[in-house]
Structure 1
Amino acid sequence: MAGSVIDGEDIVQETLLKAVQAVDGSAVVERPEQWLFRIAHNAAQDHLRRRRRERSRITEVDMTMIEDPSGSADARLAAATGLRSFMRLSLAQRSAVILVDVLGLSLHETCEVTGATLAATKAALHRGRAQLRLLAAAPEHVATPRLDAEDERRLRRYVDLFNARDFDAVRALIAEDIKLEVVNRTRMRGKAEVSTYFGNYDRASDWTLSIGFVDGRPAILIRNPGEADGAVRGFMLVEWRDERVVQIRDFRYAPWCLPDAEISTVDG
């Protein structure tokens, strides 16, 4: 729905937080799968609205006569479709195709999740499937992401100091009000607390860093130098304010983000 494993991880966290807040220990949730899907769907919509990525709306027409095969060919196509293609569908089409053809919900269950009418859901599914077939038949042109010269200079300095294990110099780059999230592990705030995070890397030897992109965003890629395949095992996102690091998100312990991420290096 979000077109990025990074945004997807944020939406999952938001979904689980909202679910915990919505139910107490004595409540019984009927149809919990659909209930969670609906929370996730609404969280994804809110996330997309905040980012102003998607403003298109499907015009509801009477599509009640459209046949509803949960076509196996459409399901196979949807399952093999990359995030970039899904992002070219309208939000309503994307929701319908993912819920029906990827997650296997019925049309009525999909209406329950999205809050749309049966007619609108059928229309969105029909048009989304047709658009995906067109996209699958067309050659894919992917723009190569590029780093701004200043961004590259700062990232290279950070990575070079990290790889040299000069963590005193790395700590000198972080701001007093820095925020750190080690996804699936911990969150820290402030230079004194975050400084301990670098000690964990100093004690380990199963990493080396390089510059690259994850879902088109500048990132620091983590590999294990002891593994012959050279595969990316994790990544970091670093945000700057002038010459100081103000936020670090470390996905080293979130391996589920890697299979669907689009990863490339600065040098290709």
Structure 2
Amino acid sequence: MSLAGFGRAELEAMLVGLRPKLHRYVARMAGSAIEGEDIVQEAVVKALAAYDGGALVERPEQWLFRIAHNAAQDHLRRRQRERLRMTEADMTEIEDISANAEVRLAAAASLRSFMQLTLAQRSAVILVDVLGLTLHETCEVTGATLAATKAALHRGRAELKALASAPADVAMPRLEPEEERRLRRYIDLFNARDFDGVRALIAEDVQVDVVNRTRLNGKKEASTYLGNYERLGDWALSLGFVEARPAILIRNPQVGGAPRGFMLIDWRGEEVVQIRDFRHAPYCIAEADVLFVPGEQG
């Protein structure tokens, strides 16, 4: 069928509904919940552009996964060129693992674990064992043959099983003193509800990305964002790490426990020039490796 007949409103609704699943796939492909959101946004833009171009599509959901798959691969190629590192490992030993155990193992595997697989293995395991696609649907998304998909799936499952049995090595990342000082000042002002103080830290040209909601430009629009927090009482901020990156963790003090979202702050000297707020993207915090700085959990 033609996407022109599908309707843009229907396509946008499908993108909203599929966004958590698309993110779950590309985050595991990239090994990062944060980068996964960037890839999803890129895929959404490409899908809407293809709609505007009158793309012919038989199965919209598989088509959207194919766009996300290609966007993830493009992202990884760019990252490979930038970092000059991405190792491809090929497993030669294949083990016979039960299907139920494979699904549980893949769903529980960390993003870091998936990065130990080759791209083909990663795609096959995520699409089949995490997202529940059939082998034929997986071939449609990746463009690989059925034989290649079966082999990648089998080898990827074996590698994940080996990684799951290895001892965990989770060390507290390093937080530079200057970064800690600036973040703690921002957190303390926020928690004290001193939003005039927070506004004083924000640059005139600040960029605010409320992930999965809106983007705001400049201090005036950022004030609306801060005003939304000022009206709510179901949050408290703590210092922590998301994927080893210094972050502000958003928790609900009335509930406690795990954070419900996080913020990433970029600075220019003592001014905040960019805020990425993941409060409204719970699928990101669900995928990310998160650590509280000791004593910060509330």
- Shorter chain as denominator, the TM-score bin is 0.7 to 0.9
8 Å contact from structure 2 (residues 238, 250) kept in 1: yes
Tell me the distance in 2 between the aligned counterparts of 1:68 and 1:140.
Answer: 24
Tell me the distance in 2 between the aligned counterparts of 1:31 and 1:213.
Answer: 39
- CA deviation map 1:200-251 (0-9, x unaligned): 22232222211111222211111223x1434422211111122211100111
Structure 2 unaligned segments of length 5 or more: list them: 1-28
Q: Could you tell me how far 1:166 is from its partner in structure 2?
A: 2.1
Which structure 2 residues correspond to residues 109-188 of structure 1 after superposition, within 5 A? 109-188=137-216
Match of 2:103 among 72, 75, 79: 75
More deviation in 48-57 or 258-267?
A: 48-57
Tell me the distance in 2 between the aligned counterparts of 1:17 and 1:123.
Answer: 33
- CA deviation map 1:103-152 (0-9, x unaligned): 23333332322223444333322321111111112211122222111110
3-state SS of 1:259 partner: helix
Match of 1:245 among 262, 272, 279: 272
Does residue 99 of the first structure (1) align with residue 127 of the second (2)? yes
8 Å contact from structure 1 (residues 147, 266) kept in 2: no
Pair 1:21–1:68, CA change in 2 (3 A): farther
Does residue 261 of the first structure (1) align with residue 288 of the second (2)? yes
Corresponding letter in the other structure for 1:185: R
Aligned length: 263
Match of 1:223 among 251, 260, 271: 251
Corresponding letter in the other structure for 1:98: I
Q: Higher helix fraction: Structure 1 or Structure 2?
A: 2
Match of 2:69 among 41, 46, 54: 41
Q: Could you tell me how far 1:80 is from its partner in structure 2?
A: 2.4
3-state SS of 2:170 partner: coil
Q: Could you tell me how far 1:58 is from its partner in structure 2?
A: 6.8
| TM-score, scaled relative to structure 1 | 0.86
- CA deviation map 1:21-79 (0-9, x unaligned): 112496552122221111111111122222236634577x9xxxx99999333223212
The percentage of aligned residue pairs carrying the same residue is 72
3-state SS of 1:153 partner: helix
More deviation in 115-124 or 78-87?
A: 115-124
Q: Could you tell me how far 1:18 is from its partner in structure 2?
A: 1.2
Query: Which residue does 2:118 correspond to in 1?
Result: 90
Which structure 2 residues correspond to residues 205-224 of structure 1 after superposition, within 5 A? 205-224=233-252
Match of 1:234 among 235, 258, 261: 261
Structure 1 unaligned segments of length 5 or more: list them: none
Tell me the distance in 2 between the aligned counterparts of 1:221 and 1:250.
Answer: 10
Tell me the distance in 1 between the aligned counterparts of 2:143 and 2:89.
Answer: 14
8 Å contact from structure 2 (residues 95, 158) kept in 1: no
Tell me the distance in 2 between the aligned counterparts of 1:199 and 1:106.
Answer: 46
Corresponding letter in the other structure for 1:192: K
| Aligned Cα root-mean-square deviation (Å) | 2.7
Does residue 192 of the first structure (1) align with residue 210 of the second (2)? no
8 Å contact from structure 2 (residues 191, 236) kept in 1: yes
